[in-house]
Amino acid sequence: MAKKVSIILVNYNSMPHLDTCISSVLKQTYPSFEVIFVDNNSSDGSLEYARRKFPQLIFVANNRNLGYAGGINAGLVHATGEYIAPLNIDTEVAPNFLAIMASFLDDNPHAGLVTPKILLFDDRSKINTMGSNIHVTGLGFCRRLNKRDDNSTKPQRVPGASGCSYLIRRDIFEKMGGAPEENFMGNDDVVVSWLVNLMGYEIYCLPEAVVYHKYTLKMNPEKFFQLEKNRYLLLLYTMKPLTFVVLSPIFVFTEFLILLYSLMKGRAYIQAKFRAWGAVCQSRRYIRERKKQVQKLRKISDCELLKRLRWNLEWGQLLHISK
């Protein structure tokens, strides 16, 4: 029998996207799935609309905005599937995308996480991302962003998945504590991918599974703060002290680039950078406790982990957000 998949949609004032996304999700050819619609206290009537239009969904209404990761975990509580499939709501999915990803996990026990080929919604000949390129300093980049789709179908092993859409084994997800709720905005996919790698499992992009995403590469001070804070936390609770020493030249160089970026973008970004440092200093207890949890999950060394990650920065994406 097909293993059940729980698709989790997190909604926050996303009325314009509901019909396209949910209608495509409900047309899946895969025989066993449920759709959990998590609302983060929206004020645009989207929750009420979804309840009327799509009563077959499972609805979870939060009394406050928990962020994307918090929303996923709220949905996970109600999920009954053996596979969990978080999906951004500003998407449209191909009818077989779920069947392809679930079949791959069925046939490949060494794979813990898979992600589809994600194309740009408004130009479907171009790639949004085919997995994530995760740098050794914790920076995450869209893999092959804006490249032409070559219609390849061969599974590709990648450093990380895209938070827009992925399928993960439920037992792995629960062991790591679900989605990282400290990541209110951004980097949740980097954390999930990092931990899946640390647990010894492999990550694949499956080009046959296709998602169309309404994506624009952009940055703002609050997102910058969240990304930097979450990146620091991840490194501090996963990496061993010797690893920091070995990688110190790379960390110093990357920090210099990010500080330069902050100066170029202005006061709000400089403040965001200092806020990130302050937030990490205030999270010392959390880092200690999280480190203990993560070390219990670890199946590979830092050396093996670094072999799975990227050592080159994605300069095109860095230059784009610097404009």
Does pLDDT of 96 surpass 90?
A: yes
State residue 246's pLDDT score.
Answer: 95
Phi-psi sector, 181: left (phi>0), alpha (psi -120 to 50), beta: alpha
Q: Which of 175, 191, 213 is the last residue of a domain?
A: 213
What is the chain's mean pLDDT, rounded?
97
Q: Which of 116, 319, 142 is nearest to 215 (CA)?
A: 142
At residue 35, φ and ψ (nearest 5 deg) are -120, 120
Sorting pLDDT into bands at 50, 70 and 90, what band is 322? confident
Does pLDDT of 323 surpass 90?
A: no
**What is the rounded distance in angstroms from the CA atom of residue 235 to the CA atom of residue 242?**
12
Does pLDDT of 122 surpass 90?
A: yes
**Enclosing domain of residue 53:** 5-213
Tens digit of pLDDT for each residue in 148-157? 999 999 999 9
Q: Which of 159, 189, 213 is the last residue of a domain?
A: 213
State residue 78's pLDDT score.
Answer: 98
- Residue 177 sits in a domain whose CATH number is 3.90.550.10
Tens digit of pLDDT for each residue in 196-217? 999 999 999 999 999 999 999 9
Sorting pLDDT into bands at 50, 70 and 90, what band is 299? very high
Residues 24 and 74 in one domain: yes
Tens digit of pLDDT for each residue in 170-200? 999 999 999 999 888 878 999 999 999 999 9
Tokens of 82: 């053996």
Query: What's the total number of domains in the chain?
Result: 2
State residue 121's pLDDT score.
Answer: 98
**Are 25 and 89 within 8 A, CB to CB?**
no
Does pLDDT of 227 surpass 90?
A: yes
Residues 169 and 77 in one domain: yes
Collapsing DSSP to helix, strand or coil, 303 comes out as: helix
Helix ranges, the chain (H): 18-26, 46-53, 67-76, 97-107, 170-175, 188-198, 221-238, 241-246, 248-265, 267-281, 284-297, 302-308, 315-321
Tens digit of pLDDT for each residue in 229-264? 999 999 999 999 999 999 999 999 999 999 999 999
Q: Which of 182, 213, 244 is the last residue of a domain?
A: 213
Does pLDDT of 1 surpass 90?
A: no
Residues 263 and 284 in one domain: yes
Tens digit of pLDDT for each residue in 258-274? 999 999 999 999 999 99
